[in-house]
């Protein structure tokens, strides 16, 4: 091609691009919704024919945190109403103020792919609005990607990570179960995390985990990367997850099918919301678990459903053990004392590698703490069976392990009919904990036995009178009283039930 022709072609391309570059702009004033009103607003915009890229900008005065809005986008096919799940194309919550979608790539949290012309919608979540209201400016550029989201995307794609050397650990096997190590709560660039999907998997591997769940806030765009990566991690069970993030509590859902998400648009004061979310999760064969039930951030605290009824598990240990976890543990003891049962879990909720200065909100390796699930084999179905039945213990590090059994046959999570039993023999075996850690047996909210552990191993049998008691569980604490590990209970009343896989 001659130089002249090339210049002509470039000029033509430039003119076509300019002709196609259009934009949509609107300003809207938002107010705090009345109690009982939806917290979501939908703003429609028309996408013209021959649009290859969309670039969004969300602009408002945050007023030092008095205003907090969340953003996402629905494509054609959506009706503009709560309850309609068709066409969610992406969600970035309050993490980003710009985003783009192109055919071959998109801001993490948004789906790349063809852009259908027609009516699209912004979804705006009113997390917090100052009393005088907030003015929001929304802009869409068609066929021209803004520099800011493009640079952000490139920086995320190019980020390098480092990991501790992978150490293979021996599998813990007891009473016919293998105790698989995992982490059920982590965030990548697709949500508000600073990890790539691959980096989360590498961190899980370096900690010798057997399973990991990636749980992004209200989006599903990480699934594709999970599916692409899975073949490179044959020993790691990777679960597609969503942190269903509402303004009255957060719920982790694990095991979602490709492309599916659970509707997060609930009224914050609607008691039955937790139940509804759990039902929707189960309709996909997934599990639903309450996250950080006592955490003091806006919307993080659990407010739904008869406390914790209806859900499969509750995250008693979130990230580094602190006052919130201590409070969650107290609430759990109260719940168990009433003769009810719910599986307690723990997870890193990691957003960032541990070697980076913590910005928002947790920088921990994947698997700190580690959740151990007793299962026959490492597949989703058996893992979920283990979680549901309470075959779970949690430790600060993957090398700390706990075994607890009753009469040598009943395991963590089992139920024993005790009306004819005057005593049972409890056997505890702790491995890997630092010397001077304290082992504590707790029944119905009260300490029944305490013992300091030597370095390496502690093996003990105790005689225990179970009559009139609801449960017995075990904790390990460090010299300052911080949690190093805890088990789910062996339940002491009601009909005997043992997991078949234990036999």
Q: Which residues bind Zn ion (CB under 5 A)?
A: 243, 250, 291, 349
Size of the chain in residues:
503
Minimum distance from residue 214 beta carbon to Zn ion (Å): 11
What is the SS3 assignment for 204? helix
Considering only CA atoms, give the Rg of the chain: 25
Q: Which residue is nearest to Zn ion (CB)?
A: 250
Q: Between residues 280 and 349, which has the closer beta carbon with respect to Zn ion? A: 349
Q: Between residues 70 and 349, which has the closer beta carbon with respect to Zn ion? A: 349
Q: Between residues 291 and 389, which has the closer beta carbon with respect to Zn ion? A: 291
- Contact status, residue 343 vs residue 489, Cβ threshold 8 Å: no
Q: Between residues 349 and 414, which has the closer beta carbon with respect to Zn ion? A: 349
Minimum distance from residue 383 beta carbon to Zn ion (Å): 20
Cα–Cα distance measured from residue 111 to residue 54, given in angstroms and rounded to the nearest whole number: 11
Which of 392, 397, 345, 403 is CA-nearest to residue 367?
397
> What is the residue-wise DSSP string for 15-49?
HHHHHH-EEEEEEEEE-PPPTTS-SEEEEEEEEPT
Cα–Cα distance measured from residue 252 to residue 256, given in angstroms and rounded to the nearest whole number: 11
What is the SS3 assignment for 276? helix
Minimum distance from residue 189 beta carbon to Zn ion (Å): 14
Minimum distance from residue 247 beta carbon to Zn ion (Å): 12
Q: Cα-flanking dihedrals φ and ψ of residue 470, to 5°?
A: -95, -35
Cα–Cα distance measured from residue 350 to residue 360, given in angstroms and rounded to the nearest whole number: 10
Minimum distance from residue 213 beta carbon to Zn ion (Å): 11
Q: Cα-flanking dihedrals φ and ψ of residue 402, to 5°?
A: -130, 135
Cβ neighbours for 234, distance < 8 A, ≥ 6 positions apart: none
Q: Between residues 193 and 489, which has the closer beta carbon with respect to Zn ion? A: 193
Cα–Cα distance measured from residue 134 to residue 137, given in angstroms and rounded to the nearest whole number: 10
C-alpha separations of 454 from 230, 402, 411 in Å: 40, 14, 24
Q: Between residues 349 and 382, which has the closer beta carbon with respect to Zn ion? A: 349
Minimum distance from residue 12 beta carbon to Zn ion (Å): 49
Minimum distance from residue 399 beta carbon to Zn ion (Å): 25
- Token pair in block for residue 481: 């009283």
Q: Between residues 291 and 343, which has the closer beta carbon with respect to Zn ion? A: 291
Minimum distance from residue 85 beta carbon to Zn ion (Å): 21
| Cβ neighbourhood burial of 327 (10 Å; 0-12, 13-18, 19+) | middle
Q: Between residues 106 and 319, which has the closer beta carbon with respect to Zn ion? A: 319
Strand order in the sheet with 134-142: 22-30, 134-142, 54-60, 98-101
| Cβ neighbourhood burial of 473 (10 Å; 0-12, 13-18, 19+) | buried
- Token pair in block for residue 83: 């309850």
Q: Is the peptide bond before 270 cis (omega within 30 degrees of 0)?
A: no
Distance between the two ends of the chain, CA-based, in angstroms? 77
DSSP classification of residue 57: E
Minimum distance from residue 347 beta carbon to Zn ion (Å): 8
Minimum distance from residue 173 beta carbon to Zn ion (Å): 31
Q: Between residues 349 and 403, which has the closer beta carbon with respect to Zn ion? A: 349
Q: Between residues 36 and 65, which has the closer beta carbon with respect to Zn ion? A: 65
DSSP classification of residue 257: P
Q: Between residues 107 and 291, which has the closer beta carbon with respect to Zn ion? A: 291
Minimum distance from residue 253 beta carbon to Zn ion (Å): 12
Cα–Cα distance measured from residue 123 to residue 73, given in angstroms and rounded to the nearest whole number: 6
Q: Between residues 242 and 502, which has the closer beta carbon with respect to Zn ion? A: 242
Minimum distance from residue 119 beta carbon to Zn ion (Å): 32
Cβ neighbours for 396, distance < 8 A, ≥ 6 positions apart: 321, 368, 369, 370, 483, 484, 485
Minimum distance from residue 243 beta carbon to Zn ion (Å): 5
- Contact status, residue 474 vs residue 440, Cβ threshold 8 Å: yes
Q: Between residues 351 and 385, which has the closer beta carbon with respect to Zn ion? A: 351
């Amino acid at each position: 091609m001659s130089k002249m022709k090339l210049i002509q072609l470039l000029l033509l391309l430039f003119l076509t691009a300019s002709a196609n570059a259009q934009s949509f702009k609107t300003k809207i004033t938002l107010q705090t919704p009345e109690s009982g009103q939806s917290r979501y607003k939908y703003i429609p915009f028309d996408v013209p024919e021959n649009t290859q890229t969309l670039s969004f900008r969300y602009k408002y005065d945050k007023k030092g945190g008095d205003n907090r809005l969340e953003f996402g986008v629905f494509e054609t096919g959506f009706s503009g109403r709560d309850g309609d799940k068709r066409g969610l194309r992406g969600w970035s919550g309050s993490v980003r103020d710009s985003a783009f979608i192109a055919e071959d790539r998109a801001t993490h949290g948004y789906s790349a792919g063809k852009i259908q012309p027609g009516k699209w919608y912004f979804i705006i979540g009113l997390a917090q609005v100052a009393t005088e209201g907030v003015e929001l400016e929304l802009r869409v550029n068609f066929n021209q990607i803004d520099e800011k989201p493009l640079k952000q995307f490139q920086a995320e794609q190019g980020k390098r990570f480092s990991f501790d050397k992978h150490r293979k650990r021996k599998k813990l096997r007891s009473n016919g179960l293998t105790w698989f190590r995992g982490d059920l709560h982590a965030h990548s660039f697709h949500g508000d995390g600073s990890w790539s999907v691959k980096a989360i998997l590498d961190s899980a591997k370096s900690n010798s985990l057997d399973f990991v769940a990636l749980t992004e806030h209200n989006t599903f765009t990480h699934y594709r990367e999970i599916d692409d990566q899975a073949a490179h991690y044959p020993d790691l069970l990777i679960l597609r997850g969503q942190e269903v993030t509402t303004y009255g509590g957060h719920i982790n859902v694990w095991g979602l099918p490709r492309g599916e998400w659970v509707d997060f648009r609930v009224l914050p004061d609607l008691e039955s919301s937790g139940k509804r979310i759990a039902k929707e999760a189960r309709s996909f064969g997934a599990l639903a678990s309450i996250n950080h039930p006592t955490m003091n951030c806006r919307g993080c605290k659990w407010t739904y459903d008869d406390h914790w009824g209806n859900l499969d598990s509750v995250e008693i240990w979130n990230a580094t053990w602190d006052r919130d976890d201590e409070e969650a543990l107290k609430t759990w003891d109260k719940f168990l004392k009433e003769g009810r049962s719910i599986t307690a879990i723990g997870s890193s909720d990691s957003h960032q590698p541990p070697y980076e200065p913590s910005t928002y909100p947790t920088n921990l390796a994947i698997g700190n703490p580690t959740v151990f699930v007793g299962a026959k084999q490492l597949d989703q179905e058996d893992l979920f069976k283990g979680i549901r039945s309470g075959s779970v213990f949690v430790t600060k590090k993957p090398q700390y392990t706990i075994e607890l059994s009753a009469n040598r046959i009943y395991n963590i999570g089992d139920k024993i009919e005790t009306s004819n039993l005057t005593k049972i023999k409890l056997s505890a075996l702790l491995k890997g904990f630092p010397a001077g850690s304290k082992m504590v047996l707790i029944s119905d909210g009260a300490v029944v036995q305490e013992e300091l552990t030597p370095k390496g191993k502690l093996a003990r049998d105790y005689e225990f009178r179970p009559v009139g008691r609801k449960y017995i569980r075990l904790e390990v604490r460090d010299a300052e009283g911080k949690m190093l590990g805890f088990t789910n209970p062996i339940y002491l009343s009601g009909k005997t039930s043992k997991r078949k896989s234990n036999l």
